[in-house]
Structure 1
Amino acid sequence: MKPYWFIPTHGDSRHLGTSVGARAASFDYFRQIAIAADSHGYEGVLIPTGRSCEDPWLVAASLIAETKRLKFLVALRPGLVTPSLAARMTATFDRLSAGRVLINLVTGGDADELAGDGQFLDHAARYEQSAEFMTVWREILARSHAGDALDFDGEHLSVKGAKLLFPPLQRPYPPLYFGGSSDAAHELAAAQFDTYLSWGEPPAAVAQKVADVKARAARHGRTLSYGIRLHVIVRETEDEAWAAAADLIRHLDPATVAAAQARFAQMDSVGQRRMAALHGGHFDKNDVRKGLEIAPNLWAGVGLVRGGAGTALVGSAEQVAQRIREYEALGLEHFILSGYPHLEESHRVAELLFPLLDIDRGANAPAGPVLTGPFGEVMANGIVPRHVSAS
């Protein structure tokens, strides 16, 4: 498996739905998280997009020189930039980062946000536009290695003589990631993308989505890899983990939950509707598992007020590792994880979970000589901490 972490460019906190324990979304904070992820050997970091976030491309670019091996999964939004400009941005980032950019297409599902960005297409038309956008983007980058130009005339987008003089390092273009739960999303993923991502639904539901995308990809003569986006609340014991889940939402109130759910209901995202259906707005401070533990150790409490990925794996390190292995058995390879607050949890997840998982270090293997022990604090000028196997 390949583990990824998350840069919280929309803000971070110890508690959802409140300013208590909140942190400023600053460069210094993003830098700390990126360095922690890089040091622990995460494959990369997802950087979100939307009007609630700092711009993902500027944030990612600011972190290139702060990291060594970390990859950046950066969002592209069709309609906000032209595919030709997006191709140049991609190639430049790939060149400046020595091949560390990954692309995540986001079509958007919030009508108010889309209108504010000058986008007025309905759900079906947005996916048509996205398909044309990716066709142009892919062709420009792929042809750049030979210096060829592209002419394209579509329903939503057209280019004539589109050309890229500085090709990306990754051939034919940086890897493409995409998530979506509608039929249109599955078809687009199958036809044009390298990795399909699901939000954290119960394993049976994820298996159905993977099977559908896999069948569609086969009809296109293509093979994809698969991944999942999950929050993680992992502790040394199960009781500690559920106590942490309760603490995460302890400042929530029914009015805040109702307001958030009403706002989500206005969106046309199929994935967002599926997230909301998992918890049904159920909220009981006295029993955070009741109505929210939708599968063993899979908790929908995050989605009470957070849009997008709204589920977390909650439990001891052994329990969470087992749940991850169950998803891995479905064919999932990419695990995009996060936890509140993101700096401390990046360390905790790496320290508790990584020793229990079969992680593909790949290009993120440490460069140069690998430092050996002692690990931990040396005591009394000579007593080395005892090694205890985490597994």
Structure 2
Amino acid sequence: MQVFWFIPTHGDTRYLGTSDGGRVFDFDYARQIASAVDSLGYEGVLLPTGRSCEDAWVTASSLIGATRNLKFLVAIRPGIASPALTARMASTFDRLSGGRLLINVVTGGDAGELEGDGFFADHAERYAVTDEFLRIWREIFGKSHTGESVDFEGEHLRATGAKLFFPPVQTPYPPLYFGGSSDVARQIAAEQLDVYLTWGEPLADVAEKIADVRTRAAKLGRTLRFGLRLHVIVRETEDEAWRAADSLISKLDDETIARVQAQFAKMDSEGQRRMAALHGGRRDRLVIAPNLWAGVGLVRGGAGTALVGDGPSVAARLREYADLGIDTFILSGYPHLEEAYRFAELVFPHLPRRVREKLGGHGKVSLSGPIGEVMANNIVPQASQS
């Protein structure tokens, strides 16, 4: 399993839907989270994109020097920036970070937000632009290793003499991640992407998506990997975890829920529609599968579900998704700094993960102990017998 965490560039909180317990996002907090998850052994971090967030590229770039192994999953936005420009940005980042860049292709499902960024297109046109964007982007990278340029004439995008003088560390380009539940999104994933992402839906729904995209890719002679994006609320006991879930939405009023859900309903994102349908905006429909809770989606767009439970239970649910073909798990929890530690301490021991070597000449991560505080100068703490 590859386990990623999340950098909350839109701010952090202890309670959804209120400023109580909120934290302003700044560089010091970003560095704390990035440094923590790097040292804890997470493979990478996702940085969100959109007008509600600080810029993902600037934030990720600022954290290269604060980390050693951590990979950064950063978004490119077809229709908002050109393929050649984002190719240069990506290659520069990959070179400066020593090959630690991953690319998240985000088409977007909020027309109002996209229009604010200058991109006016309906759902079908946005994905047509995404398709052409990726064809140009991938070809630029492919030819960067031989010093060639790219000409492209499409229905929506054109390029003449596009060229990347400084190729990336990763060949032919940093891996492309992509999520989308609509038919056209799944087809683009099958044709051009490396990792297909889905939000945390019940097992049967995730299995259907994986099977469909895998079949489409196989017809084209391609294979993909699969990833899952969801939140986690983990405590030492099941009761504690469910109380923490209730606490997360304890200051959230019904008026706010109704207003947010009405806004989501205006979007033409199939994935957002599926998230909203899991709970229907109702507090009494939040447990949608064993340990799977939809409370986050009452007010948060995008990933709206969380695994709730103790360490062994959450690990068991993750292994069930892994059995479907998921190998990358992109997780988050509120607040993100504390929950990164909590998840690593309570769940990592129950997951099949490789021991990562630290870069920069520091050798392997030591797991030989002592783990915990040495007592009275010479007594080493012992593992619990329970």
Where 2:53 maps in the other structure, the secondary structure is: coil
Structure-to-structure mapping, 1:141-220, within 5 angstroms? 141-220=141-220
> What is the number of equivalent residue pairs in this alignment?
384
2:311 maps to amino acid: A
SS of 2:374's equivalent in the other structure is: coil
The letter of the residue matching 1:130 is: T
Specify the alignment match of 1:324 in structure 2: 318
Match status 1:373 vs 2:384: no
- Which residue, out of 360, 376, 384, partners 2:380? 384
| 1:103-129 deviations in Å (ceiling 9; x for gaps) | 000001111101101111100010000
TM-superposed CA distance for 1:373, in Å, is 1.5
% same residue:
65
Amino acid paired to 1:177 = Y
Determine the structure 1 residue equivalent to 2:334.
340
1:96-135 equivalences under 5 Å are 96-135=96-135
Question: Does residue 1:293 correspond to 2:287, yes or no?
Answer: yes
Q: Matches of 1:352 and 1:310 in 2, distance apart?
A: 22
TM-score by length of 1: 0.96
Query: Residue 313 in 1 paired to residue 307 in 2?
Result: yes
Contact residue 70 and residue 364 of structure 1 kept, 8 A: no
1:166-217 Cα offsets, whole Å, 9 max, x none, are 0000000000000010001100111000000000000000000000000110
TM-superposed CA distance for 1:364, in Å, is 6.1
SS at match of 1:12: coil
Query: Is the CA contact 1:41–1:364 (under 8 Å) kept in the aligned structure 2?
Result: no
Contact 1:279 1:291 in 2 (8 A): yes
Per the TM alignment, residue 367 of structure 1 is displaced from its structure 2 partner at its CA by: 4.5
**Residue deviations 1:131-158 (CA, integer Å, cap 9, x gap):** 1001101110111001011110001110
Q: Which segment drifts farther, 354-363 or 250-259?
A: 354-363
Q: Is the 8 A contact 1:72 1:101 kept in 2?
A: yes
Q: Deviations over 1:255-308 (max 9, x none)?
A: 00000000000000000000000000002xxxxxx4110000000000000000
Do the aligned residues in 2 keep the contact of 1:43 with 1:361 (CA within 8 Å)?
A: no
Shift of 1:362: 5.4
Deviations 1:77-99 (A, max 9, x none): 01121100010001000000000
Instruction: Give, as a single letter, the amino acid of the residue that structure 1 aligns with 2:343.
Output: V
Distance in 1 of aligned mates of 2:55 and 2:219: 36
For 1:132 and 1:43, how far apart are their aligned partners in 2? 30
Contact 1:198 1:229 (C-alpha < 8 Å) held by counterparts: yes
What is the match of residue 357 of structure 1? 351
Contact 2:91 2:168 in 1 (8 A): yes
Shift of the 67–310 alpha-carbon distance from structure 1 to 2, 3 Å rule, reads same
1:111 and 1:39 mapped to 2: Cα distance?
39
Flag the 1:9–1:357 CA change in 2: closer, same or farther, 3 A: same
- SS of 2:273 mapped into structure 1: helix
Q: TM-score, normalised by structure 2?
A: 0.98
Change (3 A) 1:221 1:61: same
Q: What residue is the counterpart of 1:75 in the other structure?
A: 75
Give the distance between the partners of 2:114 and 2:226, measured in 1 at CA: 28
Report the AA paired with residue 140 of structure 2.
I
Distance change in 2, residues 1:363/1:150 (3 Å): farther
- Deviation per CA, 1:16-62: give whole Å up to 9, x if none: 00000000111110110000110011110000000000000000000
For the 8 Å contact 1:60–1:74, the answer to whether it is kept is yes
**Pairwise CA RMSD of aligned residues?**
1.3
Q: Partner letter of residue 377 of structure 2?
A: N
Partner of residue 287, structure 1: none
**Aligned match of 2:50:** 50
**Measured at CA, do residues 297 and 132 of structure 1 come closer, stay the same or move farther in structure 2, by a change above 3 Å?**
same
Alpha-carbon distance in structure 2 between the residues aligned to 1:30 and 1:216: 39
- Equivalent residue of 2:245, what SS? helix
CA distance in 1, matches of 2:92, 2:181: 31
Answer yes or no: is the 8 Å Cα contact 2:232–2:308 preserved in 1: yes
Which secondary structure does the structure 2 equivalent of 1:234 belong to? strand
Unaligned runs of 5+ in 1: 284-289
- 1:17 is aligned to 17
| Contact 1:43 1:364 (8 Å CA) reproduced | no
| Inter-partner Cα distance in structure 1 for 2:385 and 2:106 | 41
Residue 268 of structure 2: aligned partner: 268
